[in-house]
Structure 1
Amino acid sequence: MRQQFLVISAFHEDIIEIAETLNMFHVGNQWMIFVLDMVARDFDAGTVTINLDEGANIAFALNETEPNCQDSLNCTISEISLALVDAISKITVEEESIYGEISDEEWEAIRFTKQEKQSEILGYMKEFLKTNAKCSSCARWRVETAITWGKSQENRKFRSTPQRDAKNRNFEFINIGYWTPVLGFVCQELAFPHIEHHFRNITMDILTVHNPPWQILTKNSNGDIVEHKGIVMEIVKELSRALNFSYYLHEASSWKEEDSLSTSAGGNESDELVGSMTFRIPYRVVEMVQGNQFFIAAVAATLEDPDQKPFNYTQPISVQKYSFITRKPDEVSRIYLFTAPFTVETWFCLMGIILLTAPTLYAINRLAPLKEMRIVGLSTVKSCFWYIFGALLQQGGMYLPTADSGRLVVGFWWIVVIVLVTTYCGNLVAFLTFPKFQPGVDYLNQLEDHKDIVQYGLRNGTFFERYVQSTTREDFKHYLERAKIYGSAQEEDIEAVKRGERINIDWRINLQLIVQRHFERDKECRFALGRESFVDEQIAMIVPAQSAYLHLVNRHIKSMFRMGFIERWHQMNLPSAGKCNGKSAQRQVTNHKVNMDDMLGCFLVLLLGFTFALLIVCGEFWYRRFPASRKRRQFTN
């Protein structure tokens, strides 16, 4: 919150000391202090502000009025009158030179308005009085302001030994202008230049480490950083533009490099884990930030126990959630796909309707009052059954009842057939397009129902492990008790996850990156991410504990959030939902091609029909052969 203070008192030193103890000197406040001493040359601004921290906005108005100056009202009036006459003559000459070159119509279009002519006359009068005033130069106040922002960074290169505080020994006081009764306030600089120009284009030292996708550093053959990008680096670039400073990047060793130094030198790069973590802050970064030598540490760090850290966190720049990765559930067998559109009860009702409609049609055809109305082709129950069954398959029949009663039965049966066939075909298309899958692990508390998963994995150095120690969720605690902490790709054992024997917990963006890489390699979706996202891990940047610019940086980070910059940088640098997730997976299902798994049930139905036909042929052969053999035996006897 910005506040302005005007101090007019002979006890300005005491007021500055009290305000400093109340932490009222910071980058948001502005202090204008009038020094009422008659002799301005005895005032030392550096001594008065000896205890102020860097980032204060303070200006002093010093009394330079000559005490023995002889001034009179008549002399002042005479000088102002001369200035007015000189200004009017100058503007008249200027107008006459222009008027003689153009027409009257053009002159009416471009001539000065009254307000413009007034401003021009006052400007000419001030110029005349600056050079020729003699009488009105007695009363005079000079204003000087302190240049404080970033002075410890700017002056560090001139010191032989670094200093660990940001007191005002680096402050610079500049003369910005003066005030007189006639000329008013004449200035060459703003009273508080940092409010408008912030750091005034000085060079700041910024600490960073290589940790994609947050900080991505590209070096040349000499080890110098030639390119930097990533989410944190984009925020630093925007801060540099908004706060008007340039910067020089200093790289510290990352925790990966620290681990590699503690292990054997012959490490395998292919054994590194996919993605990144921010919970473990490199020790070298913490050590260098405590020295107050850097403006900010441009590293993504997990926000944890800020009151117990030897540094400060900025406003969170990201929130990452944890999830788990498992084997994608297998698709349910489609061998009975042709029966899926209707439930078992519906199929039994359909069979019952067929068995009921056939005898009804036979009875109505048999009970027709006239013999001519009785159709010979419907004179048996068997023929009526095949007629009804053929109508169900939309094949029709050779015979049609002539009686109105029989035609009503057939007509309403056709209506039932239309509804049945339309419903069946529509549902069958839906089952073909959207396959069913076996139950998978959508939530962490469902692990007890999946006995085939025997290995639990958790990435090393995660905030999840610390969070479980204080949570009340029993499924988290149970998982951590059985989990194996892995720190390399070999220990991660992603192949066991692919076989359905293992589950791993990591950042959701890291798991999406794993899914994306395996899909690009295998051209097949083998993994599934849990629907549940848990444990919000807030990520921020680091500033020194004594930094005066923490609130300033936080205000601009909030502004970046409101304008959508940070969200855009997340979309550019973090993995998005790939072809195995979200709308891409939906599009893949929509474009599903019918394969042998889909048609296997249809072929089995055809095979079943052939089998029944063969059995019935055998029965018919035996049925006709048995009476013939009995007649031959009777003839022989």
Structure 2
Amino acid sequence: MLCFVIVSLLGVCTKYISASEDFPSLISANASLAIVLDKEFLAEEYAETLESIKEYMKELTREQLKHGGVNVHYYSWTSISLKTELSAVVSIASCDGTRQLLASTRAQRVALMSATTADCPRLPPPGAVAIPLMDPGQELPQLVLDMRTAKIVDWKSAVIIHDDSLSRDMISRVVTAMTVETEDKSVSPIAITVFKMKHETDALLRKQEIEKTISKFRPQFNGENYCVIASTDAMTSVMEVAKEHNMVHPKAQWLYFVSDTNSKHDNMTMFSETLGEGENIAIVYNLTVDNDNCKRGFICQSKELLKGFVLALEKAIIDEMEVAAQVSDEEWEAIRPTKQERSSSLVQQVQSYLETYSICNNCTSWRMRSADTWGSSFQKNNSSLSKINLLQVGYWRPVDGLRLVDQMFPHISHGFRGRRLPVLAYHNPPWADLTFNDTGYITEHKGLVFDIMNELSINLNFSYFIVSTSFMIEDNNTMDDSSDISSDLFKKMMQEEIIKIIEKRGILLAASAFTITEDRKTRVNFTMPISIQPHAFLVSRPRELSRALLFMSPFASDTWLCLGFSVILMGPALYMVHRLSPFYDVSKKKRGGLSTLHHCLWYMYGALLQQGGMYLPEADSGRLVVGTWWLVVLVVVTTYCGNLVAFLTFPRQEAPITTLRELLQHGATITWSLRKDTYLDDCLKETDQQKYKDLYSGAILNTGETSESIMKVRDGTHAIIDWKINLQYIMKTQFLKNDKCDYALSFFSALLILVIEWWCRRKRNKLDNSAVKPFTN
């Protein structure tokens, strides 16, 4: 029990000690404020500023602070040692001095509110706020810096285009704002390339100057992020020239700063007429009010900061008194705000006051708009969505900084922004499998391309509905689905009609399997290939050869012929050596059975069969001939036995047909067929190579494979040329039907080369024709 009491007392003491180390409650003690006026920064204005702020602070506390008090400490430099009981610091100092104060206030968890110079990064929340002050017309670098530090423009590299209406100092400050390193390491400097153009008043000369400037770009080196700082008329010309050079597309981001606008001239709707589908364009334009009633300056801004602080302090005192009246003293000490929470709350209250009531330096403001272009061309059922609009993204003021209600480039962050878009498809399983009801409308769609469409819709933030090609084509009166044509020709015509509809921008995209040709590449954009299908030909599987003369297989015919001649030649050779040997004349021995020619022949033959013979020569010369022959026999017999075992183990197969040349060589015994009205058919028609001409002239053109042609393939008298996937389907069907694999595929790599050559030749012909008649995309 004693231990428990001691532990409890230690816990209470620790709680009170930690509370006492924090600054006192606003109920029990006055708040403490430090006002820092950097004498070196203010120079000659220091005395006047100090006197004005002292008088204003006395008046402010007397009129606005009703439930408490504030102790004010004045300092004339930023290198000060902050007291623990301080509640906030209000300063007028340079950017470096403000950063020095920030380090001190962070260590002491004190709120910092500062009026500072232009081109100074905003102080990071919570617990700090900085208001950069600048002369009218000098706010562009600060605006760019605020956009970069807020990660509104998160670029790695960018191209700046400006006209000569901006001074060199202003451009230098803008470049510095984009490249300077900040305390936030996640904000990387932007690699900048700057291009300058002359400001021409004549529209034709201005366009020529912009054309000259843009022609210097190399997007692969400079990137696809562009920042244009120019007047209103120059901005319109830049938009037109950039489109002509195909530099405006969904991957590019164009940020325009229009500097010659003001509160009386802020109509940006004229630019919406030049916007097109898929463009990422944002416009930041000036809405500054230029009159003599605008208040600005460090004294004005510091007075607003002080008033905002006093009002926030008064509200904090009232809130603490209300909460403290409802709980005990011990509970209040446990739940009252910490020093960090108090600082953050005071800064938030000051920012809210400035946003609502500030009048200093608020004649200067810029507004931001972004083009809502993705999918707008296909919203025909909704006139408000089908029109390309400029969205109100936000605004900027020196006192507030950036205030955004949407993304600067909304399509980069949100894709199509949830639009419902039409997608064109036709029944072409397994790629696109459509189910229709009695009225001809699509009730279900499935297949590989729709699986891809579902992933695209999730990643690009849109939904889609399927439009059948039958309705689209009937509307265009170009084709009748019920016409008596082959399926391949129908697919080709269907794909051609779909491409025409896309060219007219009547549909977003087509979800189907297309054959890509060079002609089509110049008309529409294709996705990356989801399947590359080579051509092949289907032939009979090689069969096992007969074993009737298997014993002859180890040697070829010329080998057997050479063996026969060797036996015939070695017999007379042995006979001549034996007969002419002087050994028998000297030794008076009989020559034996080898003295006749037929005995020598039988001996050589018997030795070949490893049977030996009844007679052997006694002379060394005859023995040398016989020994040599036995060595030959040993090699021949060993080789024969080894090959015979191999042929018995692995039966011989027919020579397979694996290449186009082999297929043509078997033209006397094998026929072949291919489907007409396909792209392979067109390719072979236009070829100028003889072997492909022979292939096409000998081919049987049909509209599809029949059971009769498949049976001919199995019998080894026919070959079918088609896509590899179609032939694999035939093989699978026949295997499930017969439970046997009677077919083989031969890869048609030569035809792939032919198709490539055909495309290249057609492309060259188009380029040659374009020299006479310009080609337009």
TM-score normalised per structure 1: 0.59
What is the aligned partner in structure 2 of residue 338 from structure 1? 551
Note the alpha carbon deviations across 1:158-187, whole angstroms, 9 max, x for none. 249xxxxxxx96123332222222443233
Q: Distance in 1 between matches of 2:346 and 2:226?
A: 33
What is the aligned partner in structure 2 of residue 521 from structure 1? 737
Q: Distance in 2 between matches of 1:66 and 1:304?
A: 58
Question: Which 5+ residue runs of structure 1 have no aligned equivalent?
Answer: 91-110, 161-167, 265-271, 368-380, 398-406, 541-637
What is the aligned partner in structure 1 of residue 709 from structure 2? 493
What is the aligned partner in structure 1 of residue 279 from structure 2? 56
SS in 1 for 2:421: strand
Question: Which 5+ residue runs of structure 2 have no aligned equivalent?
Answer: 1-218, 317-337, 584-596, 614-622, 760-777
Given the alignment of the two structures, is residue 5 of structure 1 paired with residue 227 of structure 2, yes or no? yes
SS in 2 for 1:437: coil
SS in 2 for 1:447: helix
Query: Are residues 182 and 516 of structure 1, via their aligned partners in 2, closer, same or farther at CA, if it must alter by over 3 Å?
Result: same
What is the aligned partner in structure 2 of residue 261 from structure 1? 482
What is the aligned partner in structure 1 of residue 116 from structure 2? none
SS in 1 for 2:506: coil
SS in 1 for 2:693: helix
Q: Give 1:529 deviation, angstroms.
A: 3.4
Given the alignment of the two structures, is residue 295 of structure 1 paired with residue 508 of structure 2, yes or no? yes
Q: Give 1:295 deviation, angstroms.
A: 0.7
Q: Give 1:43 deviation, angstroms.
A: 2.3
What is the aligned partner in structure 2 of residue 508 from structure 1? 724
Note the alpha carbon deviations across 1:546-566, whole angstroms, 9 max, x for none. xxxxxxxxxxxxxxxxxxxxx
Return the match for 2:263 from 34, 40, 44: 40
2:685 and 2:696 in contact (8 A); partners too: no
Q: Give 1:149 deviation, angstroms.
A: 0.9
Q: Give 1:480 deviation, angstroms.
A: 3.3
Q: Distance in 1 between matches of 2:433 and 2:636?
A: 62
Q: Distance in 2 between matches of 1:337 and 1:82?
A: 112
1:306 and 1:313 in contact (8 A); partners too: no
What is the aligned partner in structure 2 of residue 229 from structure 1? 447
What is the aligned partner in structure 2 of residue 436 from structure 1? 653
Given the alignment of the two structures, is residue 151 of structure 1 paired with residue 151 of structure 2, yes or no? no
Q: Which residue identity does 2:512 align to in structure 1?
A: V
Q: Distance in 1 between matches of 2:343 and 2:742?
A: 78
Q: Which residue identity does 2:515 align to in structure 1?
A: T
Q: Which residue identity does 1:496 align to in structure 2?
A: K
Q: Which residue identity does 1:33 align to in structure 2?
A: Y
Query: Are residues 342 and 458 of structure 1, via their aligned partners in 2, closer, same or farther at CA, if it must alter by over 3 Å?
Result: closer
Note the alpha carbon deviations across 1:311-365, whole angstroms, 9 max, x for none. 52425625444343344455443322222223456556777999999999xx9xx
Given the alignment of the two structures, is residue 314 of structure 1 paired with residue 533 of structure 2, yes or no? no
If asked which structure has higher relative contact order (CA below 8 Å, sep 6+), I would say 1
SS in 2 for 1:248: strand
Note the alpha carbon deviations across 1:28-55, whole angstroms, 9 max, x for none. 3323223335643642322232132122
Query: Are residues 209 and 394 of structure 1, via their aligned partners in 2, closer, same or farther at CA, if it must alter by over 3 Å?
Result: farther
Q: How many residues align?
A: 489
Q: Give 1:307 deviation, angstroms.
A: 7.0
What is the aligned partner in structure 2 of residue 130 from structure 1? 351
Query: Are residues 504 and 124 of structure 1, via their aligned partners in 2, closer, same or farther at CA, if it must alter by over 3 Å?
Result: same
Note the alpha carbon deviations across 1:102-147, whole angstroms, 9 max, x for none. xxxxxxxxx99xxxx9xx9997676344312223534322212121
What is the aligned partner in structure 2 of residue 104 from structure 1? none
Given the alignment of the two structures, is residue 536 of structure 1 paired with residue 755 of structure 2, yes or no? yes
Q: Distance in 2 between matches of 1:122 and 1:390?
A: 117
**Which residues in structure 2 correspond to 1:252-401 (within 5 Å)?**
252-253=469-470, 261-263=482-484, 279-282=492-495, 285-286=498-499, 288-304=501-517, 306=519, 311-314=523-526, 317=529, 318-328=531-541, 330-344=543-557, 346-347=559-560
Q: Give 1:150 deviation, angstroms.
A: 0.9
Query: Are residues 415 and 279 of structure 1, via their aligned partners in 2, closer, same or farther at CA, if it must alter by over 3 Å?
Result: farther
What is the aligned partner in structure 2 of residue 471 from structure 1? 687
What is the aligned partner in structure 1 of residue 465 from structure 2? 248
Query: Are residues 129 and 509 of structure 1, via their aligned partners in 2, closer, same or farther at CA, if it must alter by over 3 Å?
Result: same
Q: Distance in 1 between matches of 2:634 and 2:662?
A: 47
Q: Give 1:206 deviation, angstroms.
A: 0.7
SS in 2 for 1:435: coil
Q: Distance in 2 between matches of 1:63 and 1:416?
A: 105
Q: Give 1:208 deviation, angstroms.
A: 0.7
Q: Distance in 1 between matches of 2:425 and 2:686?
A: 31
Q: Distance in 2 between matches of 1:391 and 1:70?
A: 127
Q: Distance in 1 between matches of 2:248 and 2:389?
A: 16
Query: Are residues 331 and 473 of structure 1, via their aligned partners in 2, closer, same or farther at CA, if it must alter by over 3 Å?
Result: farther
Q: Give 1:207 deviation, angstroms.
A: 0.5
SS in 1 for 2:274: coil
What is the aligned partner in structure 2 of residue 584 from structure 1? none
Q: Give 1:485 deviation, angstroms.
A: 2.6
Query: Are residues 438 and 59 of structure 1, via their aligned partners in 2, closer, same or farther at CA, if it must alter by over 3 Å?
Result: closer
Q: Give 1:290 deviation, angstroms.
A: 4.9
2:470 and 2:481 in contact (8 A); partners too: no
Return the match for 1:199 from 393, 397, 416: 416
Query: Are residues 27 and 514 of structure 1, via their aligned partners in 2, closer, same or farther at CA, if it must alter by over 3 Å?
Result: same
Q: Distance in 1 between matches of 2:225 and 2:343?
A: 33
Q: Which residue identity does 1:248 align to in structure 2?
A: F
Q: Distance in 1 between matches of 2:276 and 2:723?
A: 41
2:536 and 2:745 in contact (8 A); partners too: no
Q: Give 1:471 deviation, angstroms.
A: 1.7
Structure 1, 349-358 or 60-69: larger mean CA deviation: 349-358
Query: Are residues 185 and 430 of structure 1, via their aligned partners in 2, closer, same or farther at CA, if it must alter by over 3 Å?
Result: farther
Q: Distance in 1 between matches of 2:625 and 2:520?
A: 85
What is the aligned partner in structure 2 of residue 29 from structure 1? 252
SS in 1 for 2:381: helix
Q: Which residue identity does 2:447 align to in structure 1?
A: K
Q: Distance in 2 between matches of 1:131 and 1:459?
A: 75
1:324 and 1:529 in contact (8 A); partners too: yes
Q: Which residue identity does 2:285 align to in structure 1?
A: L
Q: Which residue identity does 1:228 align to in structure 2?
A: K
Q: Distance in 1 between matches of 2:242 and 2:570?
A: 99
Q: Distance in 2 between matches of 1:16 and 1:344?
A: 83
What is the aligned partner in structure 2 of residue 19 from structure 1? 241
Q: Distance in 2 between matches of 1:442 and 1:253?
A: 41
Query: Are residues 465 and 346 of structure 1, via their aligned partners in 2, closer, same or farther at CA, if it must alter by over 3 Å?
Result: closer
What is the aligned partner in structure 2 of residue 401 from structure 1? none
SS in 2 for 1:33: strand
2:376 and 2:386 in contact (8 A); partners too: no
